[in-house]
Structure 1
Amino acid sequence: MQTPIPFYLDEILEKVRYQDGGAVADYIPQLAAANPSYLGAALCTTTGHLYSAGDDEEEFTMQSISKPFIYALALQEYGLEEVRSLVGMEPSGEAFNELSLNRDDHRPVNPMINAGAMTVTQLINGVDSGVDERVEHIRKYLSRLAGRDLTIDYQTCDSELEHAERNLSLAHMLRNYDIIQDDAHDAVMTYTLQCSTKVTVKDLAVISATLANGGTQPITGEKILDADVCRLTQAVMSSAGMYDGAGRWMAEVGIPAKSGVSGGLLGTLPGQLGIATFSPRLNTEGNSVRGVEAFKLLSQEMGLHLMATDQRYGVAPIREVEIIDDTAIVRLQGVMNFSAAESILYRLEDYEITAEQVLLDFSQVTTVNRIGRTMLKEGLRRMREAGFKIGVIDPDELIKDRTMRDGTQVRRDDTEDFMIEGEELW
């Protein structure tokens, strides 16, 4: 059985594909030449399952998406107190490149705006590090997060440096208040090279999932960051990752997120997954138009809002798989949300089921949300197409809507073939 998740991501992309608002970032010549029709999405669970759709192999530069991960690296290398002595943690309510610092101590307000990001970057690999050594240290670190060797787009970097007057102004301002020690041009060069690291939307999903997984890269299994560092980073993302639209974003979408002007957008759901989209057209706040709409749909349809009351997880969703005669009974437990349903469908692919009939037993399930129900029904439908008889043991009638994605109604059947221990099956 092929998991339905990539097909679901395709559906999300098709729903937002024809939204033609916004424009590519025209203030950077290399980004202005980007194909505005590119559209991709990817999702990576903390168990290391990666799904993608659309233009998922197209590379683009990270831009500001690199900010939370470099902040995490600075926290890992220096600790919170030292980093916070130079960069605050409060939302700014201002544009990403605003020329502003705290009035009292002249620190940048947070690490997600350019002034704060440049300050954080200058800490990496030691304050005395040269540009080349610091950039290579950052590139290797981002490669570990992605699980593959990432490269830097020097053409994009050169294109950005030709129009870097505002960032140079920020760097001079930071030097004036002894926030950074490097030459202003070196600081901007380092930061711009960091932002020019090339990724795909699949890389972003995996990198995000590493944060969501407490610092353990979910595919390679490498422990890269401490759990406390990931918690702090995601907290700052939730309040400042979407700049002056951060409050509205958390209310409507409810996923800690970060955007970049090349069209990338990523989000984390702690303990569960990382999500990413790619679409170059930007709104006035510098966020991907179609990416924002895709995230709204993902949050609503998959129940991913961080404040949602059904986001409980931690119990293995499959209690056991029992074979009785020609029937495989998959006994489920706990809450059936997206993460649980994804785990069930993924694990069912590993079982070499030779029985004629597959039954999902909901007797020990407490609740089923809409996306969990939809995914499980789609999984059953695909198993039916593969030649299995399908059914559920559902004494509490948790699956009330029995219409599957192909429009057919799941029927109740009292015949002997669909009865086990007196329970009615479908």
Structure 2
Amino acid sequence: MKTPVPDYLASVLARCDANDGGALADYIPELAHADPNKLALALSTIDGEIYSAGDDQYEFSIQSMSKPFAYALALQHHGIEKVLEKVGVEPSGEAFNQISLDSHSNTPKNPMINSGAITTHSLIPAETGELRAEKLRAFLSEMAGRELSFDEEVYQSELKTAYRNLSIGYMLRTVGVLESDPVDIVEGYIRQCAIKVTVKDLARIASVFANGGIDPHTGKCMLDRMVVRQVLSVMISCGMYDAAGDWLTTVGIPAKSGVAGGILGVLPGQVGVAVFSPKLDEHGNSVRGIEIMERLSQDMGLHLMEGTPSAQTIVQGIYYLDEQKQIRVYELRGVLQFTETEMLLRTIQQEPDAPHSIVLDLSHITLIHDVGRRMLLEGIDRLIDDAHEVLVVDPDGLFKAETTDLGHEVKHYANIQAIPH
């Protein structure tokens, strides 16, 4: 059997192909010559599978879709509090290139508008003489699984018309947000925006963010989970500029657009999506790209506020491992966050007082959040205090706890068959 996902993606493109609205980004001369008929879509799963349709091999400049990744590098290196001293997180309700600062802090309102992105670029960690744009290119290349390059024509074209961004740079230097030559910073930011990508590159990069900062292809931790949460939070509220409210209500996926025609979306724990179509609306967002994302959100139930009651299925089965009914197994599946762990503990509290062994089988658990781990350890302490023995089947080592807060040993087993009975 062939999965129907590629056919579905192709059908979405076919339905949106006739939309001829919008215009090319002619304020960047090189982008004004783009082929307006190019159309592409790619989708990634959290285990790294990539599906695509249309012009999925076509390279285009990443433009403002680079902003979340530069922000992530700055957060990873400096920490959230330090970065917040330089750039805020409030939606601006303004155009992406507005020359403005927050009236109270005198800093950019968020990292998704140009003033915030220029500031964020200055915070990318780089050694003396190392180009920050090159640091970002290497970072994106590792997540994309191939060496990305710069579009020198787009870079030079945008550099020749960068008067507004230079004005923003000088403003930021005047108020002390930038601490070095604004011309160097602005030129580096423009070069950052000229990194060439395909929708498949973007979808693969998005899978790292959908997977909480872990590259599903390599297993490497590219970003701390808290950094990913911060980036996606800003994307959902600020990523689509002064159309962010409409985007949140109709699409509901953390996203970032670029004036070359790309839109990148990340739904945590589910999928990454990338679309490309060069003609833009008045906000600087791809017209056909928005229509595609709206269809995907509606067809696939991807809206962030359309949550699923996963906690109802956390306990897949309860059974005895032995004929004497002294070893009771709780077979779990899914993720352990607050809601799921609360339901599990509420189920376990119905265990009879008579001492016996309780097995928590985590073989089919894919993620244990910190709060889930803390709650489970507390539950284990209470079960042991009630004279029960607690055993944990954890073949993937997700639980990562050898003792409880009260010093009780957590007995680990690689599989259910290894438990003596």
Provide the residue aligned with 1:14 in structure 2: 14
Q: Which residue number in structure 2 is paired with residue 176 of structure 1? A: 174
Give the deviation of 1:191 after TM superposition. 0.2
Distance in 2 separating the partners of 1:120 and 1:130? 18
Name the CA shift for 1:334/1:98 in 2 (closer, same or farther; >3 Å): farther
Matched AA of 1:136: E
User: 2:83 aligns to what?
Assistant: 83
The one-letter amino acid of 2:143's match is L
CA distance in 2 between partners of 1:38 and 1:13 (Å) = 11
Instruction: Evaluate the alpha carbon distance shift between residue 77 and residue 313 of structure 1 in structure 2; reply closer, same or farther with a 3 A threshold.
Output: farther
Task: Extract unaligned runs of 5+ from structure 2.
Answer: 318-330, 334-421
For residues 51-130 of structure 1, the aligned pairs below 5 Å read 51-126=51-126, 129=127
- For 2:32, the equivalent position in structure 1 comes to 32
With over 3 angstroms needed to count, the CA separation of the structure-2 counterparts of 1:130 and 1:42, relative to structure 1, is: same
Structure 1 CA distance, aligned partners of 2:24 and 2:310? 39
* Aligned match of 1:222: 220
CA distance 1:115–1:130, shift in 2 (3 Å): farther
Q: Kindly indicate whether the alpha-carbon contact (under 8 Å) linking 2:76 and 2:224 is maintained by their aligned counterparts in 1.
A: yes
Alignment of structure 1 residues 191-270 onto 2, 5 Å:
191-270=189-268
SS at match of 2:131: helix
CA contact (8 A) 1:304 1:311 kept: no
Residue matched to 2:362: none
Q: Is the 8 A contact 1:100 1:108 kept in 2?
A: yes
Alignment match, 2:45: 45
Q: CA deviation at 1:311?
A: 6.8
Contact 1:147 1:220 in 2 (8 A): no
Is contact 1:88–1:110 with CA below 8 Å preserved after alignment?
yes
State the distance in 1 between where 2:154 and 2:6 align. 31
Secondary structure at 1:239 match in 2: helix
Deviation for aligned residue 1:3: 1.1
1:294-328 Cα distance to aligned partner (Å, 9 max, x none) = 00000001010010143748979x99xxxxxxxxx
After superposition, give the CA deviation of every residue in 1:24-80 in whole Å (9 maximum; x if it has no partner).
Answer: 110111111110000000000001111000000000010000001110111100000
How many pairs were matched up? 321
Contact 2:169–2:185 (8 Å) recurs in 1: yes
**Matched letter for residue 276 of structure 1:** A
- The structural deviation recorded for 1:147 is 1.6
Contact 1:147 1:217 in 2 (8 A): no
Map of 1:300 onto structure 2: 298
Query: Aligned partners of 2:104, 2:215: CA distance in 1, in Å?
Result: 39
Partner of 2:414: none
Aligned residue identity for 1:188? V
1:188-231 per-residue CA deviation (whole Å, 9 max, x = no partner) reads 11001100000000111111111111111222322100111001
SS at 1:29 equivalent: coil
- The 3 A distance-change label for structure 1 pair 202 and 13 is same
CA contact (8 A) 2:69 2:136 kept: no
**What CA distance in whole angstroms lies between the structure 2 residues aligned with 1:309 and 1:61?**
34
Q: 1:226 to 1:106 in 2, by over 3 A?
A: same
Task: Return the TM-score normalized by structure 2.
Answer: 0.73
Question: Please, which of 288, 299, 324 is the counterpart of residue 290 of structure 1?
Answer: 288
- Tell me which amino acid in the other structure corresponds to 1:71: Y
Contact 1:208–1:268 (Cα < 8 Å) also in 2: yes
Residue 368 of structure 2 corresponds to which residue in structure 1? none
Q: Which amino acid aligns with 1:224?
A: M
**Letter of the aligned partner of 2:80 in structure 1?**
L
Percent sequence identity over aligned pairs: 52
Q: Which residue of 134, 139, 157 corresponds with 2:137?
A: 139
Q: 1:313 to 1:45 in 2, by over 3 A?
A: farther
Structure 1 residues 149, 315: CA separation in 2 closer, same or farther (over 3 Å shift)? farther
| Rounded Cα–Cα distance in structure 2 between residues aligned with 1:237 and 1:98 | 18
Measure the CA separation in 2 of the matches of 1:315 and 1:227.
25
Cα 1:258–1:334 shift into 2, 3 Å? farther
2:189 and 2:91 map into 1 onto residues whose CA distance is 21
Change (3 A) 1:315 1:202: farther
CA distance in structure 1 between the aligned counterparts of 2:176 and 2:254, rounded to whole angstroms: 31
Separation in 2, partners of 1:253, 1:265: 12
Aligned to 1:392: none
1:192 alignment partner, SS class: helix
* Distance in 2 (alpha carbons) for counterparts of 1:315 and 1:176: 56
